[in-house]
Amino acid sequence: MSVRRVALITGGTRGIGLGIAEALADEGFDLALCGRRDPADVRDPIEALRARGADVLYTVADVADPDARRRLLGEVRRHYGRLHVLVNNAGVAPRERNDLLEATEESFEWVMRINLQGPYFLTQAVANWMLEQHAADAAFAGCIVFVTSVSSTVASVNRGEYCVSKAGLSMACRLFAVRLGAAGIPVYEVRPGIIQTDMTRGVQEKYDRLIEEGLLVQPRWGRPADVGQAVALLARGDLPYSTGQVLMVDGGLTLARL
């Protein structure tokens, strides 16, 4: 009987993270999920994932907290004893959208710790574990995915800290791809565009109007499932010779047009 592969998805109980978790559950992965919500508040999505056939471990952990990251990986080790895929998905928008000339250092530091510093050092810890697994078994197949945003290259002057955090994640992807390439552990970036989630609910009317006016080549909101399908093909190993590459899931938003 083959051993089921395990994927750790940060922020995997709602929005894009849940879309990714659903796609990987359908691919036969068991799931380790983390978030900041109480287990009682995520019971419904977890039970729905289990109904898809996945074993699901949920840990309350803020990726910005080093102790929480260590505890998270300790629980994954105890429960599964293995980890094949890391999806760095958890992230936040600024609590307030402020003009670049008015934004505060407090907001910058808060966004950076969650969106960039936490994933960077979680990836460091997971990479070392994956190298350990590869040393023990040459057939080990690992994969790391950074979920970023079109904001890594598209400037929004009323949420500069978010843009800078996502641009930093794009470089983190390249760095870890170079470092892990010799061990056969590919690292990818998935860059979503305008995705319909809790995070974008407050700007629904704005983007409805912009989409109607032709903002996107494919004139509809993106869905969490769109991102999930992109991550699933990477986790399956369908792009084995493309480490460090960016997979756009933006409906053509960033295509240059006249």
Specify whether 162 is catalytic: yes
Centroid of chain to Cα 197? 14
d(CA 88, CA 119): 6
Catalytically annotated residue among 58, 80, 162, 188: 162
Beta-strand ranges (E) seen in 193-243 are: none
C-alpha closest to that of 6 among 27, 32, 26:
32
d(CA 158, CA 96): 9
Residue indicated by tokens 């400037």: 155
Say which DSSP state 171 is in.
Answer: H
For residue 120, give every residue at least 6 positions away whose Cβ sits within 8 Å of its Cβ, in sequence order, or none: 168, 169, 172
Retrieve residue 17's tokens: 């993270």
Q: Strand, coil or helix: what is 88?
A: strand
Active-site positions? 162
